[in-house]
Amino acid sequence: MTRFIPIFTVTTFVSIHYGTILYINSSLLGNFFKPDIVSLLFLIGALGNVILFLLAPKLIELFGKRILLLFFLLLAIASTLGMGLAQTSQVVLISFVVYSSILFIIYYYLDIFLEELSKNENTGEVRGVYFTFFNLGLTMGPFVLAVFALDNAFDLVYIVAATLLIPPVLLVLSSFKSHMPKWHGLHPQHMFLPFSVWWQTKNIRRITLARLALEFFFAFMVIYTPIYLHSIIGFTWSELGIIFTVMLLPFIIFQWPAGELADRFYGEKEIMSIGFIITALSLLAMPFLGKAFFVWMFILFLSRVGASLIEVMTESYFFKQVDASDTRLISIFRLTRPVSIILAAIFGILLLSFFSLDKIFYVLVIAVIYGLKETLLLKDTK
C-alpha cells in the first residue's frame, strides 16, 4: 500500500477542500441570485464538466495527465478564491461555473494514476482504502466549515479551502509520475467516447447506471438539503456543520471493510443492493422530520450508511471490468457525476414549480429504486 500514499494524501487534501465548501456553494450563490438561477448555475457548471470529460482522453494524449492534474488544481485554487473574495454577482458567477466545471476532472486524473498502480485481485480493497481517505477529507470539511463560517459570511471559509489545495500541488510536482506512454498523434479511435461499446457491455452499462442513481442522490442532497435545513427547518450553520460531519462518518467506517468483504467473500452485488435499500428507507422518513437535531443527524447518517456501501461497491465492480488504459470507459463512468448534477438541477427547477421542497425527497426514492433494479441485473464477481 505504500506506493499509493502520494495519491491517498492528495485525495485527502482535495476532499477536505471539497467538503469545506460543498454545502455552502448554494447558499453563497443564494446571496446573489434567486433559487431558480442557482439551479441554473449548477446546471451550467455540470455541462462544463461534461465537456471536459468528453475531451479528457484527447487532452491526456496531448498534454499528459500529470500536467493536466496540476493545471486543474491551480485553476481550482484561483476559482475558489474568486468565490470567496468576490463582491459582485458577475465574479461569483464566473468563479463558480469555472470551479464546478473542473472539480470532478481532478478526481478523474487521480483515478487513472490509482488504476495504474492497482492489481485486479485487490481492486475492492484499494478502492475501499482510497474512498476511506476521500471521505475522511469530506468529513473533515464540514468541521472546517463549522469553525470558520460566520452566519452568511463565507469569505474566510473559501480562503482556507483554497489554501488546502497547495499541498496537493506540491505533491503532484514532487511525487507523481506517469507510468504509461502517451499516444503519438490523435488516432481516430481515440477522438470520441465509445458509447456503443459501453451500451453493449451490459455489466459496465448497468454498474454505470447504478452509479448514476447514487450520484443523482448526492447531487440532489448537496444542492437542496442545505437550503431546506437552513432556510426552512431553521438550523444554524454551526449546527449543520456538526450534523454533516456525523452524516459523513459511514464513508470512513464502512468502505474499507466493505471493499475487503467484496474481494474475499461476497462480491459487490449483495452489498450494493443492501446499500440501496437502506438509502431508500431513510429518504422516506425525511419529509416528516421537524427541527429535531439528533433525529436529522441519525437519519442523514443512516442514508450515508447505504450510500457508502453503494459508492465503494460500484467503484470496485467497475474497476474490476477495466484497466488504466480504458480511459474512455472511465470517462463515461465519471460522467455520472456532472450528468447527475444536470438532472438534479433540471428536476429541481421543475419540481419546485409544483411542490414544496420537502416533497422532492420522494423523487430521490424513485432514483434509488432504479439503481437497485440495475444492481439486481448485474452478474456478480463472486
> Where along the chain do its domains lie?
2-177+192-376
- Give the per-residue pLDDT at 350: 80
- Give the per-residue pLDDT at 324: 62
The CATH number assigned to the domain with range 2-177+192-376 reads 1.20.1250.20
- Give the per-residue pLDDT at 186: 38
- Give the per-residue pLDDT at 374: 94
- Give the per-residue pLDDT at 184: 35
Is the pTM above the cut of 0.85? no
C-beta of residue 160 within 8 angstroms of C-beta of residue 280 = no
The secondary structure of residue 360, as a DSSP letter, is: G
C-beta of residue 309 within 8 angstroms of C-beta of residue 258 = yes
- The Cα–Cα gap between 248 and 108 comes to 22
Q: Which regions in the chain score pLDDT beneath 50?
A: 180-191
- The Cα–Cα gap between 187 and 17 comes to 37
- The set of cell numbers assigned to 221 is 442532497
- The Cα–Cα gap between 306 and 283 comes to 11
What DSSP assignment string belongs to 236-259?
Answer: -HHHHHHHHHHHTHHHHHTHHHHH
C-beta of residue 164 within 8 angstroms of C-beta of residue 31 = no
Q: Cα torsion at 194, 196, 200, 201 (round to 10°)?
A: 10
- The set of cell numbers assigned to 270 is 449483495
- The set of cell numbers assigned to 307 is 450510500
C-beta of residue 102 within 8 angstroms of C-beta of residue 230 = no
